[in-house]
Chains A and B, each alone.
Chain A
Amino acid sequence: MANLAAVVGIGQTKYTTKRTDVSIAGLVREAAVNALKDADLGWDDIDAVIIGKAPDMFEGVIMPEIYLTDALGCNGKPMLRVHTAGSVGGSTALVAASHVQSGTFKRVLTVAFEKQSESNAMWALSNPQPFSTHLNAGAGGYFAPIIREYMRRSNAPYDVGIKVAVKDRLHGARNPLAHLQKPDITMKEVEESFMLWDPIRFLESCPSSDGACAMIIANEELAEQAPKSPAWIRGGAMRSEPTMFAGRDEVNPQAGRDCAADVFQQAGITDPRKELDVAEVYVPFSWYEPMWLENLGFAPVGEGWKLTMDGATSLIDGGDIPWNPSGGVLSSNPIGASGMIRFAEAARQVRGDAGDHQVAGAKLALGHAYGGGAQFFSMWVVGSEKP
């Protein structure tokens, strides 16, 4: 049986298109300092640093963790880098947690970041390969056909994605850290926005953001001494599968289903919609909300869109299971950090520290991230009470 671990500090930057006032080092340090302040700790209280970001091709800085040791106060301390594409923020948090749960360290700092203004992710995801045509058009080009297949299978109304796009931006307008601030967004505005990768419209896609997110994870003894309420880690799981294999269900990947089953089993959850109070789920393109509602078992297969259309996932409509009250990836997307933001926002909710996007009385929350060709999954469940 693993030792208990909890989140005792959370720090984020304000997500925005361009942070021209800081370098990558300045960006990660800002998040780390905010997390230390939140936990009322100093650099000497940290035993190790676990860092993650999306592929190095994005900013073109190879192994940036090496030069970030100074900024993260970890000269002479252990540092570990995690690589799992877009899911990396979640995996990094889980790797950090496991170093505490195993008893290796008492208290670790974990950080994830992306500086998209110094990067070209669309280019990095569109490089030609010698054995296929050069038609890979970024992440949207990859996910659009999968979304189209979901629409065919589920026979969902055409405006489900539009509804998610509006809902998450209205949520984001309650979160001062969210990149997009669109309190007046309408269904019409989303519907009339430019079609990028049919059926994905511009406003159904995530923005490109600069930002970093950090957390401090401590063992049971130290978490009990923390000045603010800890978020206890009640379960954590990762799964992956190949991008391409015959018979793969790209709409409802088995790795996602298995990962959810594992994390819910650890947390003693049998009905996620009923037992969880809130979920922060990686939705970079709006239609991924209904798809993941089904993949994660919040709705039967083919019926995820009904929860969205009924307002069940909306904090503002008083839904029973708010998804992404922070505004989600659709409101802020510093790619490598986006998964950790989901994990951190889940923790903020159960700490009762989520400000204007707090779900009243939230006690149990899911943080979720996915990456690659929807093939890497990482999830955790955090609670206000010890398991």
Chain B
Amino acid sequence: MSEEQDVVTVIQAPIYLKYNFTAGAAPARFLTQLKKGKLTGQCRDEPGAPVYIPPRGSCPATGKPTEKEVELSDKATVQSFTIVHIPIPGNAIQPPFIVANLVADGANISFIHLMSECVNEEVHIGQRVQAVWKPEAEWDYAMDNIKYFKPIDEPDVPPEQIGKLPVTGWEG
């Protein structure tokens, strides 16, 4: 060996760990409805209690259980968003793509999902969108049952109203 070689100081040695996720009572109810093509939120069983999706079993502000189930619309409002120009590790999606913080009508918290069928430069806060679902045969216990959200022809929601719409929607 006469040729000089670079000294190896670091190698990548990925370890994969498969595990079973025990959903727990509240997420299990949510995921069961999702498999039927329904978005459901949960809240404390009190008038005016905030509605959470995905529900994790307790209200983060009070710690009380979210026992009441509320069916939500698959229409939503853009609370904010980012146009991502780099790949996500472990996800085949090709950049650029829009990840939006969306609040479904009837919910009081945003979740993130993909936006598509839109002009990236025209996406804006307050924009109205609706879910585009996968074919029913492909539905599983996953938010990926929704392929993405696309803009719909409804007037923008003023920023101070985002996160406060009833399930009947804006001007509903």
Contact = CB atoms under 8 A, between A and B. Distances in A.
B130 to A, nearest CB: 16
A127 B88 CA distance: 9
Interface string B99-114: 1110000001101111
A133 B31 contact: no
Contacts of B61: 242, 245-246
Nearest to B86: A196
B81 A145 contact: yes
Contacts of B80: 145-146, 148-149
A198 B88 CA distance: 15
A157 interface: no
Contact of A149 (B30, B86, B99, B125): B125
A20 interface: yes
Contact of A242 (B50, B51, B54, B60): B60
A187 interface: no
B91 A198 contact: no
Interface in A90-142: 117-118, 120, 122-123, 126-128, 130-137, 140-141
Interface residues of B, number: 47
Contacts of A20: 9-10
B88 A137 contact: yes
Contact of B82 (A130, A197, A242): A197
A117 B12 CA distance: 11
B99 A141 contact: yes
Contact of A134 (B52, B91, B146): B91
Contacts of A120: 89
B143 A145 contact: no
Contact of A135 (B15, B60, B86, B99): B99
Contacts of A242: 60-61
A135 B114 contact: yes
A244 interface: yes
Q: Which of B27, B61, B80, B109 gathers most chain A CB within 10 Å?
A: B80
A195 B85 contact: yes
A170 to B, nearest CB: 26
A88 to B, nearest CB: 22
A152 B91 CA distance: 30
A135 B91 contact: yes
A76 interface: no
Contact of A246 (B85, B99, B109): B109
A48 B97 CA distance: 49
A118 B88 contact: no
Contacts of A127: 90
A292 B59 CA distance: 28
Contacts of A300: none
Interface in B1-50: 9-10, 15, 21, 23, 27, 30-31, 50
Contacts of B52: 244, 246
A126 B90 CA distance: 8
A367 B88 CA distance: 33
Contacts of B88: 126, 134-137, 141
A174 B19 CA distance: 49
Interface residues on A, range: 35 or more
Nearest to A128: B90
B89 A197 contact: no
Contact of B85 (A126, A128, A196): A196
Contacts of A43: none
B86 A137 contact: yes
A204 B3 CA distance: 42
A20 B108 CA distance: 48
A60 B17 CA distance: 13
A132 B82 contact: no
B109 A198 contact: no
Given A145-B80, A198-B84, A246-B51, 11 more contacts: A18-B10, A117-B10, A123-B89, A123-B90, A128-B90, A134-B88, A135-B113, A137-B82, A148-B81, A197-B85, A247-B108
Interface of A: 18, 20, 60, 117-118, 120, 122-123, 126-128, 130-137, 140-141, 144-146, 148-149, 152-153, 194-200, 242, 244-247
Would you list the 10 A-B pairs with minimal beta carbon distance, nearest first?
A: A246-B50, A145-B80, A144-B82, A198-B83, A246-B108, A242-B60, A131-B54, A245-B60, A123-B89, A130-B21
28 contacts: A131-B23, A131-B31, A131-B54, A132-B111, A132-B143, A133-B143, A133-B146, A135-B88, A135-B91, A135-B112, A136-B112, A137-B82, A145-B80, A148-B80, A148-B125, A195-B83, A196-B84, A197-B86, A198-B82, A198-B83, A199-B82, A200-B82, A242-B61, A244-B109, A245-B50, A245-B60, A245-B61, A245-B109
